């Protein structure tokens, strides 16, 4: 068996860190050995083989998130998003071909991205973020007007027309914080003799435009010259160590998997995506950073199957200004 040693280590860790002494969101999957549980074990075996003991540490981390509060669930989803992205990189850059992966490499400032993967020709730092959106969605579920970008007087226009109580505001500060955090992590590593790329993955809910718009809207996008985020001299603040931002729907995808609203074939619960197939997340959207020190070379990152921002045919994954919801708008998932 390819992962015989790793399998024993991972199963021992499951028994150690998931004891049923207090409720945990993964108890159902573990006790019933669901398809998701088996996929999780397989993914952690691969991680433990490429990065010794990191699969065990991952189980310790999510095993410590006990309780049934929504915040506990969101923390578990965040960790699983990181695992999905890492797994896709490990599959596409195997150690047998000379690729090396370092889990949570430590920079000069003590900060660390999720992982570093490298070859003799390049290195890639990857950071993964997945926000908690439940409270925001709950607070704004009855509002028919959604301002998606920070656009001049648009807020005042909508509030004058419909009343401030019916307008939800952008989530752009969360995206700004993600960029600031990733820039601090990527910039803490010294330049070496090969190109270094910094990739930020933002694993969002169903409405991907809520993350894409603050990044790439032509009137306010954080990666554009028109960015709303400026310094004291009114110059746009740049993020030169971030080559690009990939917005995905993996948060939404995982929430449905964990609640078994979607029942996928074995081996698909933690899949990065098989696009244009039922039950798979839509293509990620790539928001290129035109001010990056090392722009993304298309050939190297074809395996991420991303659509450039603004080129998606689906409005749910396109930059917008505002949205006017019909009365049939769905309420947030409980």
Write out the DSSP string of 289-319. -TT-SSPPPTTTTGGG-PEETT--S-GGGS-
Question: 10-residue block means of pLDDT along the chain (334 residues)?
Answer: 88 92 91 94 96 97 93 96 96 95 95 96 97 90 85 78 81 96 96 93 95 93 94 96 96 91 73 71 89 89 90 88 73 48
* H or E stretch at 146: strand 145-147
Tokens at residue 175, please?
């995206």
Q: How confident is the model at residue 262, as a pLDDT?
A: 67
Q: How confident is the model at residue 334, as a pLDDT?
A: 42
Q: How confident is the model at residue 70, as a pLDDT?
A: 92
Identify how many contiguous H helices and E strands the chain contains and give both numbers: 10, 10
Interatomic CA distance for residues 15 and 264, integer angstroms: 26
Domain ranges of the chain: 69-139+172-315
Interatomic CA distance for residues 140 and 130, integer angstroms: 19
Classify the C-alpha dihedral 55-58-63-69 as positive or negative: negative
Contact by Cβ (8 Å): 168, 190: no
Q: How confident is the model at residue 61, as a pLDDT?
A: 97
Tokens at residue 91, please?
């599959």
Interatomic CA distance for residues 153 and 332, integer angstroms: 28
Q: What is the DSSP track for 72-126?
A: HHHHHHHHHHHHHHHHHHHHHS-GGGT-EEEES---TTS---SEEEE-SS-EEEE
Tokens at residue 317, please?
């994954």
Q: How confident is the model at residue 263, as a pLDDT?
A: 64
């Amino acid at each position: 068996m390819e992962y015989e040693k790793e399998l024993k280590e991972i199963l021992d860790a499951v028994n150690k860190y998931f004891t049923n002494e207090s409720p945990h969101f993964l108890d159902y999957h573990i006790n019933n050995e669901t398809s998701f549980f088996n996929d999780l074990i397989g993914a952690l075996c691969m991680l433990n083989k490429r990065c010794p003991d990191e699969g065990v540490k991952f189980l310790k981390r999510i095993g410590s998130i006990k309780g049934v509060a929504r915040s506990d669930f969101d923390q578990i989803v965040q960790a699983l998003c990181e695992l999905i992205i890492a797994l896709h990189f490990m599959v596409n850059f195997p150690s047998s071909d000379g690729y090396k992966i370092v889990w949570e490499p430590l920079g000069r400032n003590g900060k660390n991205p999720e992982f570093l993967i490298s070859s003799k020709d390049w290195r890639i730092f990857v950071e993964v973020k997945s926000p908690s959106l439940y409270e925001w969605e709950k607070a704004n579920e009855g509002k028919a007007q959604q301002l998606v970008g920070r656009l001049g007087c648009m807020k005042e226009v909508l509030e004058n027309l419909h009343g401030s109580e019916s307008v939800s505001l952008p989530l752009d500060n969360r995206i700004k914080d993600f960029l600031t955090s990733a820039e601090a992590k990527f910039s803490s590593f010294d330049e070496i003799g090969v190109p270094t790329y910094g990739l930020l993955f933002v694993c969002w809910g169903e409405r991907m435009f809520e993350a894409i718009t603050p990044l790439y809207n032509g009137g306010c996008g954080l990666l554009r010259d028109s960015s709303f985020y400026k310094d004291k001299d009114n110059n746009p603040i740049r993020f030169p160590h971030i080559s690009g931002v990939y917005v995905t729907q993996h948060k939404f995808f995982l929430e449905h998997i964990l609640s078994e609203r979607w029942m996928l074939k074995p081996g698909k619960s933690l899949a990065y995506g098989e696009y244009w197939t039922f039950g798979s997340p839509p293509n990620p959207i790539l928001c290129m950073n035109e001010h990056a020190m090392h722009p993304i070379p298309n050939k190297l990152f074809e395996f991420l199957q991303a659509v450039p921002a603004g080129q998606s045919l689906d409005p749910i994954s396109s930059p917008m200004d505002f949205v006017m919801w019909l009365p049939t708008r769905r309420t947030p998932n409980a």
